[in-house]
Chain A
């Protein structure tokens, strides 16, 4: 046996381990000794790791490690660092008007980036991810604004809302003309609806009495929507002559609106979002593409 261990393989000149499988012998090519020391070093390193960092689970807690490091506090510190990094830019947003922000490319980029995140978190559930809107929730990309599309108009609604219960917010709604009080009878509502559709060039129903509808419109609707139906931004009365319909342009939807009234609510965000974020959101919405010049 002993001699077998010192067996030198003739072809390679290397010693074998003495293991022999059907004549196939295993060469012994030893690792360098320092490799072994490196292995021991990693074990020592691991022990050091236990001491320095949280490591061993205990019954109700764990070994804390001498540095007191924890991933939770690390995240908090990271976020504080991020805040400090953004601080100066956020301060600039606070101290600038929306128009100044829009006029400064660097501030505009920052405001849009902040606005994008805030919009996705707070506004997208109703207005859609890109402000595209849906039935009852205005599209913020187009040039049709119920309450005006200048920076100040957007800012006011964002801060105080529409029919939100905030006194500074926008009030006024579309009253119901049908139902129990019955200002208008069903046939009158139908005639007004036909006339309303005709204002924006939509084809009225066959046999519609547009003259009757026009008279009813002048008596009941023109106070808010204007004689020509162009709307009134002070009251949030939509322009009925354009191609944009918040709830839809089919007759049934318009009849429903006249009958039951309309009054969607935009909540007030002042106090819920910080000042720089409110400004960033204003600028962000204004730069969707429909924002009106001052």
Chain B
């Protein structure tokens, strides 16, 4: 056991920050303040996690590129695009949901849900977001694939980069950058389609009739995609992204992380030496130091150094190691989703365990359920009409020639339906009142109805005159009731009637 403990100690004091290259001072008195970039050539790999990553890539990018073209029939008074951010008309359409600017609190709810879901993913299995779902990861993955297609796999690419420039090398590089730019351009192109009718905008873009802002955004996103996915790559995760720092503070010892099982892997030795050691009955690790896990890593870290900032936990090293272990006839999952607790459990001869249901995950799941529930409830029960009332500030009240008191209000009626509606406004709270709509003429049948167009608001001035025998108090609470005369739907709001 002391021998194992010694191994554990050795494993634990390995350098934790693999991203920082070894420091080599220029001279004795000068220490380097800036780290040079170390180019990473991730090797092609096959396996379970690679397949998951491909699937996630196809699904997420498929949604991103194609969603603007999905149609959704809303009738003649609204656009027929399933997902549309309509800035000129200040509307957001998402399939059967239409949101107005004042309902932007749904966005707050979505952001809360997104944050807590991120925390929950982190509590269950570490950097799932970073490894599989983050746009930076997905696009970088796609750009790596393009790079390998043109410049070959790790070894070939490294060799070519080390050699002198030739026409074919230049051609391959040019083809790579051109393809990258095409993907980046289409990424920016898809982005602007969410803000306008997609088929029309595509036609306008092709014929040069699209607004300048569309071309500008395509240009900006082409540049950012090309720069971030093609060139910045792991630097974004290492130096620019705040999530690794937050994630490290949020995680706990039970979260499953991509882990090198040093209880099984150490001491590292060659295949031949391991066989000899095993024959002698001495402990021999399964890790043969083939560096496959390092070569496939998109951020260039060595997972055997333990959890560290540079590791986005994409699981590709698991696939690489599994392939080697299978070839050697050893059990797979020398690198696996696991915890340090389990390593120590195994070292102590105890059974490993996975604890997904714990206070932290329950709390996160609870918050998600509550916030999601509130949002669904609010969405399901939200009114399709609304009334806002502003009392005139000056004068607070008007004395009429017959001595009656009048208060004036500016009322805004909201009609969220996609058809024109007729409303009646009733005022309650004063015994004898006359309600007059300024600028609204009575219908032929004598009724005073306010018509509000489809998906619109309308402002109406309303004069409320009190003819009560006794003068009203200095302030009386009154109720404005908006009634749809066809459906009977009601919206209410309270305000005040002021007197001397």
Assuming the A-B contacts A35-B239, A132-B394, are A143 and B31 also in contact, with contact meaning beta carbons closer than 8 angstroms in the complex?
no
Contact between chains at A34 and B235 (CB < 8 Å): yes
Given A6-B23, A13-B16, check contact A30 B34 (CB 8 Å).
Answer: yes
Q: A5-B25, A129-B393 are in contact. List 7 more A-B contacts (CB 8 A).
A: A30-B34, A30-B35, A32-B238, A132-B394, A142-B401, A239-B401, A287-B439
A51 at the interface (CB under 8 A from B): no
- Convert B1-42 into 0s and 1s, putting 1 for each residue whose CB lies closer than 8 angstroms to a CB of A: 000000000000111110010010100110111111100000
Interface centre among B238, B398, B461, B463 (most CB of A within 10 A): B398
Do A28 and B31 have beta carbons less than 8 Å apart?
A: yes
Number of residues in B with C-beta < 8 Å to the partner?
40
Give complex CA distance A6, B436 in Å.
87
Q: Which residues of A contact B438 (CB under 8 A)?
A: 287, 289, 291
Contact A242/B25 with A14-B20, A102-B439, A130-B394 known, Cβ cut-off 8 Å: no
Q: Which of B398-452 contact A (CB under 8 A)?
A: 398-403, 406, 408, 436, 438-439, 441
What are the nearest 4 A-B pairs in CB distance? A13-B15, A132-B395, A242-B401, A130-B394
CB of B458 within 8 Å of the partner chain:
yes
Q: Is B252 an interface residue (CB 8 A)?
A: no
Instruction: Give the CA-CA distance A239 to B461 in the complex, in Å.
Output: 27
A1-B28, A13-B13, A141-B408 known; A130+B401 contact, CB < 8 A:
no
Asked if B161 is at the interface (CB within 8 A of a chain A CB), the reply is no
Inter-chain contacts of A15 with B (CB < 8 A): 23, 31
- From A29, A144, A244, A287, B17 is in contact (CB under 8 Å) with A29
Chain A residues lying within 8 Å of B395, measured Cβ to Cβ, are 128, 130-133, 139, 141
Given the known interface contacts A5-B25, A15-B31, A243-B399, the answer about A105 and B408 at a Cβ–Cβ threshold of 8 Å is no
Q: Which of B16, B28, B395, B438 has the most CB of A within 10 A?
A: B395
Interface residues on A, range: 35 or more
SS class of chain A's interface: helix, strand, loop or mixed? loop
- Pair B29/A30 contact, Cβ less than 8 Å: no
Give chain A residues whose Cβ lies under 8 Å from the Cβ of B16. 12-13
Q: Is the CB of B15 within 8 A of A14?
A: yes
**B28: which A residues are within 8 A, CB to CB?**
1-2, 5
**How far apart are A187's CB and chain B's nearest CB, in angstroms?**
31
Q: Could you tell me if B399 and A244 are in contact, using CB atoms closer than 8 angstroms?
A: yes
Q: Is B489 in contact with chain A by the CB < 8 A criterion?
A: no
Within 8 A of B (CB), among A216-258: 239, 242-244
A29: chain B residues at CB < 8 Å are 17, 20
The reply to whether B239 and A32 contact each other, CB–CB distance below 8 Å, is yes
For B235, list chain A residues within 8 Å (CB). Answer: 32, 34
Indicate whether B156 reaches chain A with its CB closer than 8 angstroms: no
Chain A residues with CB below 8 A from B439, complex form: 102-103, 105, 108, 287
Q: Which residues of B sit under 8 angstroms from A288, Cβ to Cβ? A: 408
Q: Tell me whether A12 and B17 are in contact in the complex, defined as CB-CB below 8 angstroms, given that A32-B35, A33-B37 are known contacts.
A: yes
The reply to whether the CB of B383 lies closer than 8 angstroms to some CB of chain A is no
Q: B402 near A141 (CB under 8 angstroms)?
A: no
Residue of B nearest to A286 (CB): B438
Measured in the bound complex, the distance between the Cα atoms of B453 and A109 in whole Å is 15
24 A-B pairs with C-beta separation under 8 A: A5-B25, A5-B28, A12-B15, A12-B17, A13-B16, A14-B15, A14-B17, A18-B31, A29-B17, A30-B33, A31-B33, A31-B239, A32-B34, A32-B235, A35-B34, A35-B239, A36-B34, A129-B394, A130-B394, A130-B395, A139-B395, A139-B399, A287-B438, A289-B461
Residues from chain B with a CB closer than 8 A to the CB of A239 are 401
Cα(A59)–Cα(B324), bound, Å: 75
A10 in the interface (beta carbon within 8 A):
yes
- Cα distance A29–B459 when bound, in Å? 62
Residue B204 CB within 8 A of the other chain: no
C-alpha spacing A61/B494, complex, angstroms: 59
With contact pairs A5-B28, A32-B34, A130-B392 given, residues A142 and B398 touching in the complex (Cβ less than 8 Å): yes
